[in-house]
């Protein structure tokens, strides 16, 4: 057995980190334990695991990945189930030597102001910031030694004020918005491993959601999540766009149905992918994950500036 190291999870954590706070983290414990499910290490007893040189290298990458997440992700907001599936998807890609996909959905930049309709034709400050943040995050993962790629999905579906948009040249504005979006991706240091795509290029989204969004049927989310999102939506739609209470309620319901459907589809299309959250309202991520879904669609919520 001279080619192996036999370690407990705590010994394995200590082996890779001099930071005792990191080494004793419950998430590092679950990461090391879960790694065995993906053949990174061979159990020799209830507490001990045998690791080959290749196992140890992969475990080092996994721990480095999690330490990166601890620095850049809102762990407390994420929830245990979400953390579990993030770890599993990462370890599955690491073990099988398949690229880890990080993807995100970006909304177009809306005209703001009471009664405003349509789009600016340019990407806004928030989109620019999150686009670069995601690119930086992906580059950091790739430097750990894990093949990673990023997919930016531009939402040309599920449009705000759909009926009123028919009176203006919104398609031209969206086209200009997406063109600028693509150009900014090309400017990122990680551009060789990044790509962009319209949401409408996904057939099931184009057919089921369309520009109107899903306007009938079950919401797919709990009442608690619905009410949290509704209250957050009121702040934006009523204060910045001048919408009525009824308009906010209807829009929130359309978003809930559409996001829930998208979450289920993303799990089919990108089964080992991980979503990077790009919206300012983090509560909306719960709508992608739905109620009673197992597994959840995994979502990384980046830390906001303090």
- pLDDT, one tens digit per residue, over 185-238 is 999 999 999 999 999 999 999 999 999 999 999 999 999 999 999 999 998 888
Torsion of CA 19, 21, 27, 290, to 10 degrees: -120
Average pLDDT over residues 275-297: 94
CA distance 154 to 131: 11
Residues above pLDDT 70, as percent of the chain: 96
Contact 272, 98 (CB under 8 A): yes
Task: Reply yes or no: is the peptide bond before residue 220 cis, omega within 30 of 0.
Answer: no
Residue 237 tokens, joined: 């739609």
H-type helices in 43-151, by residue range?
53-72, 75-78, 80-96, 125-144
Residue 218 tokens, joined: 């079950």
* Residue reference for tokens 């579990």: 84
- pLDDT on residue 121: 82
pLDDT bucket at 18, cuts 50 / 70 / 90: low
Residue 1 tokens, joined: 């057995």
pLDDT greater than 90 at residue 2: no
Nearest to residue 104, comparing CAs of 79, 129, 87, 83?
129
pLDDT greater than 90 at residue 112: no
- Average pLDDT of the chain to the nearest whole number: 92
Q: How many CB atoms lie within 10 A of CB 61?
A: 19
CA distance 27 to 18: 16
pLDDT greater than 80 at residue 19: no
pLDDT greater than 80 at residue 116: no
CA distance 301 to 82: 10
pLDDT bucket at 1, cuts 50 / 70 / 90: very low
End-to-end Cα, the chain, rounded Å: 50
Average pLDDT over residues 83-96: 97
List, in sequence order, every beta strand (DSSP E) within the chain: 5-8, 42-43, 48-51, 100-106, 148-154, 194-198, 274-276, 299-300
CA distance 194 to 190: 7
pLDDT bucket at 139, cuts 50 / 70 / 90: very high
Task: Please tell me what DSSP assigns to residue 41.
Answer: S
- pLDDT on residue 231: 95
Lowest mean pLDDT among 18-22, 59-63, 106-110, 144-148: 18-22
pLDDT, tens digit, 9 for 90 and up, residues 150-193: 999 999 999 988 888 988 889 999 999 999 999 999 999 999 99
* Residue reference for tokens 């670069």: 132
pTM of the model: 0.93
């Amino acid at each position: 057995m001279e080619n192996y190291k036999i370690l407990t999870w705590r010994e394995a954590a200590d082996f890779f980190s001099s930071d005792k706070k990191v080494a004793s983290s419950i998430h590092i414990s679950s990461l090391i334990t879960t790694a065995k499910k993906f053949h990174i290490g061979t159990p020799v007893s209830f507490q001990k695991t045998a690791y080959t040189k290749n196992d140890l290298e992969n475990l080092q990458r996994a721990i480095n990945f999690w330490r990166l997440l601890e620095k850049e992700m809102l762990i407390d907001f994420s929830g245990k189930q979400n953390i579990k599936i993030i770890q599993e998807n990462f370890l599955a890609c690491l073990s099988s030597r398949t690229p880890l996909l990080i993807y995100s959905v970006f909304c177009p930049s809306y005209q703001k102001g009471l009664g405003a309709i349509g789009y600016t034709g340019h990407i806004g400050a928030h989109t620019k910031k999150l686009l670069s943040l995601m690119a930086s995050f992906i580059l950091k993962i790739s430097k750990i030694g894990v093949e990673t790629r990023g997919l930016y999905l531009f939402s040309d579906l599920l449009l705000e004020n759909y009926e009123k948009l028919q009176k203006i040249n919104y398609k031209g504005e969206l086209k200009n918005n997406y063109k600028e979006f693509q150009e900014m991706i090309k400017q990122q240091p990680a551009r060789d491993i990044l790509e962009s795509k319209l949401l409408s290029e996904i057939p099931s989204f184009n057919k089921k959601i369309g520009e109107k969004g899903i306007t009938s049927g079950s919401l797919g989310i709990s009442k608690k999540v619905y009410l949290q999102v509704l209250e957050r939506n009121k702040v934006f739609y009523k204060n910045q766009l001048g919408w009525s209470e009824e308009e906010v309620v209807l829009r929130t319901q359309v978003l809930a149905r559409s996001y829930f459907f998208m979450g289920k589809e993303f799990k089919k299309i990108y089964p080992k992918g991980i979503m990077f959250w790009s919206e300012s309202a983090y509560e909306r991520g719960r709508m992608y994950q739905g109620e009673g879904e197992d597994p959840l669609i995994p979502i990384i919520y980046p830390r906001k500036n303090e």
